[in-house]
Structure 1
């Protein structure tokens, strides 16, 4: 967890706006790692040790070193400016926890979807859920050391993404890289909001 001083736990009086962002993705793509890497406060984690009950339920191929899993959510905070703060909610990746998304998604500005290209097919159902719920999102490709590199056009085609959906490369362990991904999402959602307002006026 991130070590912070007591002074860092409180927001400055200048903060005027807070935005809520969901971080979603398939099981084991790095959501807990990303929230932890960017949070300026010690992140809240609801991880439990995986037991034999997970055998045959959670797909561990390629994740042999994984010993814990999120069962409710991860929570972190990032102050983007003297006036704007971002609250991050990382969701569990397994299908059996997807009912939690309904409550977590309420009031969210947008969604950052983490994807592991080593298990690309695991992300198809996640993207479908976002489309069903009508949530705006951006895609962040979490680059693991043994991940193959693909061109953006290949990834967009494989994931069946709309041309306007942003795709960025990131390292969930790196704060700068992860914050850049979140900024891309916020800029995308802000653009969508402006477009929708323009359509409403016309």
Structure 2
């Protein structure tokens, strides 16, 4: 991933873009769909549906009682990071946050180069299972705290300790509704992946 993209044989001297799959993960109601909507340069595909009584009984909505819709399959968007070396096209896959979709989560994450984990500081405990799944898949990841209006104001070191993150794992804050803020979080993940020589390269687009 850190090497220079190959030249496009159809256009000598023009560098090809590199395509890579990235997972946007996190527990229920953490802002994954909002982030993909904010980031995507194309009209995003979303699979949000109205939450029914059965879903409300199955999924814990503690501290998020105002949530009325939920992702039932996967969200999808695309974001191009252009640079002088041809650029990187990221295919963004948002995962459902409910435990019962764990088999689907494994399918979605297959072939991804890394993951951006969204965390809600009001519900830190909900994030551990997601990070466990990512680590089981062998994916490198970065963590982004999505700040809500009533989010506790924790120091970043306290948040890192609470999540038991490795020193090299990036930890940033963001507003998942805001494009610039979400892009900063995505770039933190990409820079983390670029710095790891064990991460395979993406594919020419």
Provide TM-score, normalisation by structure 2: 0.85
Query: Conserved in 2, the CA contact under 8 Å of 1:15 and 1:85?
Result: no
Contact 1:15 1:84 in 2 (8 A): no
Normalising by structure 1, report the TM-score: 0.86
- Tell me the residue number matched to 1:10: none
Please report how far the alpha carbon of residue 128 of structure 1 lies from its aligned counterpart in structure 2 after TM superposition: 1.3
Shift, 1:133, TM fit: 1.7
Aligned residue pairs total 184
Match of 2:160 among 151, 156, 160: 156
Could you tell me which of 92, 95, 102 is aligned with 1:91? 95
| 1:45 aligned residue | 46
Give the Å deviation of 1:158: 0.5
SS of alignment partner, residue 23 of structure 1: strand
Gaps of 5+ in 1: 1-12, 198-202
The answer to which of 25-34 and 101-110 deviates more is 101-110
**Runs of 4 or more off by more than 3 Å in structure 1?**
none
Greater relative contact order structure (CA < 8 Å, 6+ sep): 2
Superposed CA RMSD: 1.6
How far, CA to CA, are the matches of 1:133 and 1:78 in structure 2?
Answer: 23
For structure 2, the residue ranges without an aligned partner over 5 or more in a row are 1-13, 201-205
Q: Structure 2: how far apart are the matches of 1:14 and 1:146?
A: 46
Tell me which protein shows more helix as a share of its residues.
Answer: 1
Using the TM superposition, give the Cα deviation of residue 107 of structure 1 relative to its aligned residue in structure 2, in angstroms: 1.7
